[in-house]
Amino acid sequence: MPDWSLHPVCPASVDEVVAFVDQARRALFPLLAQSPLPDDLSHFAQRYLHGEGRFLVARAHGRLIGAIGYLPYDHRFAQLDYRGLRTVEVVRLFVHPDHRQQGVAKALYQALHDQAREAGVQCLYLHTHPFLPGAIAFWERQGFTLVDVEHDPLWRTTHMHCLLDQG
């Protein structure tokens, strides 16, 4: 039995969740150290609590140890065409280093997947990068397939999706 549990984000914990996610993203992507807070984080409640997005967290003994969310896909990548499919983008999967390899990421994703299916989502989209250890293999184990890899030598953005069975 894990010593952690999953929870939706409540309004009182928004600042804590935004700080956790921002710290995690800056640690993984040092080039972002001086960048402003992304729109979804600076408008967290509007996007995830009151909008069409969803966000879940994992806690161990009250401490925030993981996060994941989804937002409606915004069609910003011209090479990807998800028009005609209700598509959301999986975003902000982070697990504190002390709790990795314990099933937290898989449980967060599965719970988010279930919420998406219940909401009538047909396609889960995400992008990741090969320099993130184990990321591509993790998503493949969750049922995602590779659909495009950008040729940018620094980021090599890897686009993946998972079509949901509506049965």
Query: For position 52, what pLDDT does the model report?
Result: 94
Taking only the tens place, the pLDDT of each residue in 19-68 is 999 999 998 888 777 889 999 999 999 999 999 999 999 999 999 999 99
Taking only the tens place, the pLDDT of each residue in 120-149 is 999 999 999 988 888 999 999 999 999 999
Please tell me what DSSP assigns to residue 106. H
Q: Where are the domains of the chain?
A: 4-163
**CATH entry, 4-163, from 3.40.630.30, 3.40.50.720, 3.90.1300.10, 1.10.3720.10:** 3.40.630.30
Taking only the tens place, the pLDDT of each residue in 90-116 is 999 999 999 999 999 999 999 999 999
In contact, 80 and 18? CB cutoff 8 Å: no
